[in-house]
């Protein structure tokens, strides 16, 4: 009978980390779909968040699904931005059918900006490998991309004019030292928040992502670093 | 009675972070003195840790004190390694007298490697700016440095042979895009954990450190990544 008053305290203390963790993340992940330009239904995963903030669109590599990106999308959303993770339709990645991939990316973009509390011109892109073939021209053409995190960018078909048009964007680039396109992209940017991280290892794209345990945290932090500088009323 | 138990619960919740914090960090920071080869008394701060792990030696820039590094040293120690943070004697930095600075760095190394639970050949170096002028020759000569973190390395006076001799050491290098010495060091290295992070901004050394808040966390994590590969038997 002497101890019961302490029991609620101990229970509360034990549960506190669980409450705090859930509150801090506040990520709602659910499957969704959108229609590509020709009406093809494309499946996706949308990461919603209770926080007010911008959004992130993923443009994946051409080598198929990368389930590790679910974790990254969740981490990005946990710090504010909603994220849309989708993949190209069969036969429709930027290497196989560039125009189709561009159209589908446009549709993904429209789907993302139509979500509640997502500003149409406050969206960042995470592009891996050949995803950069459409990410850079898209950012250059629309002027609506506010940051890009790029892993092993493949810039086949991307013109110098398109690169010059994204020179004012904050870019976070990861690549191995042999990747000339990463250096080309970095050389073209002059935003003071742009960063290039080079590795002395042979992996590229998702293999590089898997090889460096800190890369995921770097992208997550970068979104917070760049978006954190924007005025709240804009959203 | 019921009110009293809730009050206890609340007090426990408020105190929890303070009670848990020191235990998790378990670092003990204390001022120390050691003697250089010529008998000069040098001072520093030693960060001890209860964990089994290696050591980290700081070699500062020539511009004087950098109080922000106190925080970084604490973070590194929290992850395991004991740290010695010290500064050059007046008129004894690597620009003023590279011989004197080298002798003092050797004495600092001796001090650190004689601490309990610090292996003499499992020590990392954090060098800022001109600190690299002694870090690279020291690592090349002794072969006892197991990793180096370099912010805006200034390699004046460092030979190609010395740079080649550290080609197997994992390096984490931070610099702005114009710093040729950083690129020189990266180009000569072939450890697959080596990384070069370049910025599109004009700041160097401690100003670069201050400009990118992610830099501090990157160093801390890098120590963990590299040292994590050693077994406890090494210590």
What is the largest distance, in Å, between two alpha-carbon atoms of chain A? 79
The tokens for A34 are: 């959108």
Q: Which of B189, B195, B225 sits opposite A197 (nearest CB)?
A: B195
Check if A14 contacts B (Cβ < 8 Å): no
Which whole-number Å values give the CA distances from A158 to A139, A152, B215, in the listed order?
Answer: 12, 14, 31
Half-sphere exposure of B95 (CA within 13 A, CB side): 10
Distance CA A106, CA A137 (A): 12
Q: Which residue of B has its CA nearest to A3?
A: B5
| Least Cα separation, residue A159 to chain B (angstroms) | 21
Say whether B196 and A197 touch across the interface (CB within 8 A): yes
Of the residues A200, A226, A229, the best mutation for testing chain B's interface (the one with the most B CB atoms within 10 Å of its CB) is A200
Q: Which residue of A has its CA nearest to B225?
A: A213
Q: What is the pLDDT of residue A1?
A: 42
**CA-closest candidate to residue A64, choices A164, A131, A14, A111:** A131
For A2-54, give the secondary structure using H, E and C: CCCCHHHHHHHHHHHHHHHHHHHHCEEEEEEEEECCCCCEEEEEEEEECCCCC
Check if A95 contacts B (Cβ < 8 Å): no
Q: What is the pLDDT of residue B3?
A: 56
Check if A217 contacts B (Cβ < 8 Å): yes
Q: What is the pLDDT of residue A42?
A: 96
Q: A176 with A152: CB under 8 angstroms?
A: yes
DSSP state of B233: G
Distance CA B58, CA B69 (A): 9
| Least Cα separation, residue B11 to chain A (angstroms) | 9
What architecture is domain A26-234?
A: 3-Layer(aba) Sandwich (3.40)
Say whether A201 and B192 touch across the interface (CB within 8 A): yes
Q: List, for chain B, all residue ranges whose pLDDT scores fall below the cut of 50.
A: 1, 16-25, 231-232, 234-235
DSSP state of A234: G
| Least Cα separation, residue A176 to chain B (angstroms) | 9
Distance CA B112, CA B44 (A): 11
pLDDT digits (tens, 9 = 90+) for A121-137: 788 999 999 999 999 99
- Domains plus CATH for chain B? 27-234 (3.40.50.1820)
pTM exceeding the 0.95 threshold for the entire prediction: no
Q: Which of A194, A198, A222 sits opposite B200 (nearest CB)?
A: A194
pLDDT digits (tens, 9 = 90+) for A51-86: 666 899 999 999 978 899 999 999 988 878 899 999
Interface of B with A (CB under 8 A): 1, 4-6, 8-9, 11-13, 16, 177, 186-187, 189-201, 212-214, 217-218, 221-222, 225
What percentage of chain A has pLDDT greater than the value 70? 83
Distance CA A153, CA A206 (A): 11
Say whether B4 and A186 touch across the interface (CB within 8 A): no
H-helix or E-strand spanning residue B23: helix B2-25
Tell me the sheet residues that pair with B197.
A197, B174
Q: Which of A9, A193, A199 sits opposite B9 (nearest CB)?
A: A9
Q: Which residue of B has its CA nearest to A197?
A: B197
What is the DSSP secondary-structure string of B182-199?
HHHHHHT---TT-EEEEE
Q: What is the pLDDT of residue A6?
A: 57
Say whether B217 and A191 touch across the interface (CB within 8 A): no
Say whether B5 and A4 touch across the interface (CB within 8 A): yes
Of the residues A195, A216, A220, the best mutation for testing chain B's interface (the one with the most B CB atoms within 10 Å of its CB) is A195
Q: Which residue of B has its CA nearest to A172?
A: B199
pLDDT in tens, chain A (235 residues): 445 555 555 555 555 544 444 444 467 899 999 999 889 999 999 999 876 668 999 999 999 788 999 999 999 888 788 999 999 999 999 999 999 999 999 999 999 988 887 776 788 999 999 999 999 999 999 998 999 999 999 999 999 999 999 999 999 999 999 999 999 999 999 999 999 999 999 999 999 999 988 888 889 889 888 887 543 444 3
What are the extents of the domains in chain A?
26-234
Distance CA B93, CA A49 (A): 51
The tokens for B170 are: 């994992």
Distance CA B114, CA B35 (A): 13
Say whether B16 and A200 touch across the interface (CB within 8 A): no
Q: Which residue of A has its CA nearest to B219?
A: A214
Q: What is the mean pLDDT of chain B?
A: 86
Residues of chain B positioned with their CB less than 8 A from the CB of A169:
none
pLDDT digits (tens, 9 = 90+) for B134-151: 999 999 999 989 999 999
Say whether A186 and B197 touch across the interface (CB within 8 A): no
Q: What is the pLDDT of residue A139?
A: 95
């Amino acid at each position: 009978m002497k101890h019961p008053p302490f029991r609620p305290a101990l229970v509360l203390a034990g549960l506190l980390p669980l409450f705090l963790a859930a509150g801090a993340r506040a990520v709602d992940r659910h499957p969704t779909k959108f229609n590509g330009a020709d009406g093809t239904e494309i499946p996706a995963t949308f990461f919603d968040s209770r926080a007010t903030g911008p959004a992130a669109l993923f443009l994946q590599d051409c080598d198929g699904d990368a389930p590790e990106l679910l974790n990254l999308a969740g981490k990005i959303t946990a710090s504010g931005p909603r994220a849309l993770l989708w993949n190209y339709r069969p036969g429709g990645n930027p290497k196989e059918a560039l125009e189709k991939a561009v159209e589908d990316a446009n549709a993904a973009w429209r789907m993302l900006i139509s979500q509640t509390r997502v500003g149409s011109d406050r969206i960042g892109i995470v592009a891996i490998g050949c995803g950069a073939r459409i990410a850079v021209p898209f950012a250059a053409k629309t002027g609506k991309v506010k940051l890009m995190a790029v892993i092993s960018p493949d810039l086949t078909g991307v013109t110098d004019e398109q690169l010059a048009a994204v020179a004012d964007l904050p870019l976070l680039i990861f690549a191995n030292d042999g990747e000339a396109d990463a250096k080309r992209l970095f050389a073209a940017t002059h935003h003071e928040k742009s960063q290039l991280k080079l590795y002395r290892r042979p992996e590229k794209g998702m293999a590089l992502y898997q090889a460096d345990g800190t890369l995921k945290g770097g992208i997550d932090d970068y979104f917070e670093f760049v978006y954190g500088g924007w005025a709240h009323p804009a959203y | 009675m019921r009110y009293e138990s809730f009050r206890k619960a609340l007090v426990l919740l408020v105190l929890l972070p303070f009670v848990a914090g020191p235990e998790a960090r378990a670092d003990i920071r204390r001022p120390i003195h050691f003697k250089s080869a010529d008998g000069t008394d040098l001072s520093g701060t030693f960060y001890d840790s209860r964990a089994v792990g290696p050591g980290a030696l700081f070699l500062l820039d020539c511009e004087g004190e950098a109080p922000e590094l106190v925080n970084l040293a604490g973070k590194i120690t929290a992850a395991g390694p004991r740290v010695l943070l010290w500064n050059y004697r007046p008129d004894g930095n690597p620009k003023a007298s590279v011989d004197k600075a080298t002798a003092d760095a050797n004495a600092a190394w001796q001090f650190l490697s004689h601490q309990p639970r610090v292996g003499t050949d499992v020590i990392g170096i954090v060098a800022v700016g001109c600190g690299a002028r002694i870090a690279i020759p020291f690592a090349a000569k002794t072969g006892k440095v197991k990793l180096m973190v370099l912010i805006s390395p200034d390699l004046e006076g460092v030979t190609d042979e010395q740079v080649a001799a550290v080609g197997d050491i994992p390096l984490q290098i931070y610099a702005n895009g114009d710093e040729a010495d950083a690129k020189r060091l990266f180009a000569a290295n072939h450890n697959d954990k080596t990384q070069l992070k370049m910025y599109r901004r004009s700041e160097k050394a401690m100003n670069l450190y201050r400009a990118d808040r992610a830099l501090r966390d990157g160093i801390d994590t890098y120590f963990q990544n590299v040292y994590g590969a050693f077994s406890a038997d090494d210590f």
